[in-house]
């Protein structure tokens, strides 16, 4: 038998479906960077991205025997990834709301640092951190679907049709989410580019 690295995805999937653990590992190797990239851009925290990554490949492992190649493997995998991102975002939002309602002490320095003007305003690093923090906050204010569509389009470079396939919706719905996300981000960040 040929080396797994020289096989097509279809052949590797067939091997993995028959219980070949090395074939499954090869699939993970082929797609892990893309999955982690989508997760990392969606959540902006390494630990959360790793949690999403692990959950995605657990779901792939459990569902691989049922995969029937009606779509590309990558489309199926990214659909799982987007679903995990969306459910993770919903759980995270619920948890964050719960934490803020019980533990708010008036000090919002948190992970993002102070958003006020520091004594080092000429320091480019401080300015970049402030801008990054503002963008992160604005992204988190989007709905889960808007954030995911915006991330897949502008950070990952997917086409609208590909995004529609990934999240199992119409291209028109993707355009609507993207338009709304862009408008909301422009509105929240307009002082940064005026």
Query: Model pTM?
Result: 0.65
- Measured distance CA(88)–CA(52) in Å, rounded: 7
Shared domain for 95 and 1, answered yes or no, is yes
Which ranges constitute the DSSP H helices of the chain?
9-17, 21-43, 46-63, 73-103, 124-140, 144-150, 160-166, 171-193
Token output for 165: 């396939």
Query: Cα–Cα–Cα angle for 48, 168, 159, nearest 5°?
Result: 80
Higher pLDDT among residues 138 and 56, named by residue: 56
Shared domain for 4 and 86, answered yes or no, is yes
- Measured distance CA(34)–CA(81) in Å, rounded: 10
Q: Which domain holds residue 58?
A: 1-102
Query: Cα–Cα–Cα angle for 37, 40, 43, nearest 5°?
Result: 145
Does residue 188 surpass a pLDDT of 70? yes
Number of domains in the chain: 2
Query: pLDDT above 70 covers what percent of the chain?
Result: 78
Comparing 8-22, 63-77, 99-113, 170-184, the range with the smallest average pLDDT is 99-113
Does residue 1 surpass a pLDDT of 50? yes
* Residue pair 46/75 in contact by the 8 Å Cβ criterion: no
- Measured distance CA(37)–CA(58) in Å, rounded: 17
Domain end: 70, 102, 134, which one? 102
Residue 163 maps to which CATH number? 1.10.10.10
Report which of 44, 47, 40 is spatially closest to residue 136, judged by C-alpha positions. 44
Place of tokens 């975002």: 89
Residue 5 maps to which CATH number? 1.10.1740.10
Per the domain annotation, does 94 fall within a domain?
Answer: yes
Comparing 14-28, 98-112, 137-151, the range with the smallest average pLDDT is 98-112
- Measured distance CA(123)–CA(94) in Å, rounded: 36
Higher pLDDT among residues 156 and 14, named by residue: 14
pLDDT band at 193 (very low <50, low <70, confident <90, very high): low
> Tens of pLDDT along 91-129?
655 544 444 444 444 433 333 333 344 444 446 667 667
The C-alpha torsion from 19 through 23 and 24 to 27, rounded to 10°, is -150
Q: Look at the alpha carbons of 146, 152, 157, 162 in this order and tell me if their dihedral is positive or negative.
A: negative
């Amino acid at each position: 038998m040929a080396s797994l690295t020289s096989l097509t995805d279809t052949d590797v999937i067939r091997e993995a479906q028959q219980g070949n653990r090395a074939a499954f590992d090869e699939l993970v190797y082929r797609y892990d960077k893309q999955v982690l990239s989508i997760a990392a851009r969606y959540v902006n925290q390494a630990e959360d991205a790793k949690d999403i990554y692990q959950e995605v490949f657990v779901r792939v492992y459990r569902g691989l025997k049922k995969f029937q190649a009606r779509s590309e493997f990558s489309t199926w995998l990214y659909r799982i990834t987007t679903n995990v991102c969306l459910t993770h975002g919903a759980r995270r939002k619920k948890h964050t709301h719960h934490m803020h309602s019980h533990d708010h002490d008036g000090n919002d320095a948190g992970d993002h640092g102070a958003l006020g003007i520091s004594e080092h305003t000429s320091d480019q690093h401080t300015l970049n951190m402030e801008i990054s923090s503002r963008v992160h906050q604005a992204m988190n204010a989007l709905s889960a679907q808007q954030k995911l569509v915006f991330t897949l389009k502008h950070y990952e470079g997917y086409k609208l049709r590909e995004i529609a396939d990934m999240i199992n919706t119409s291209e028109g719905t993707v355009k609507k989410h993207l338009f709304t996300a862009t408008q909301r981000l422009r509105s929240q960040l307009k002082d940064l580019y005026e």
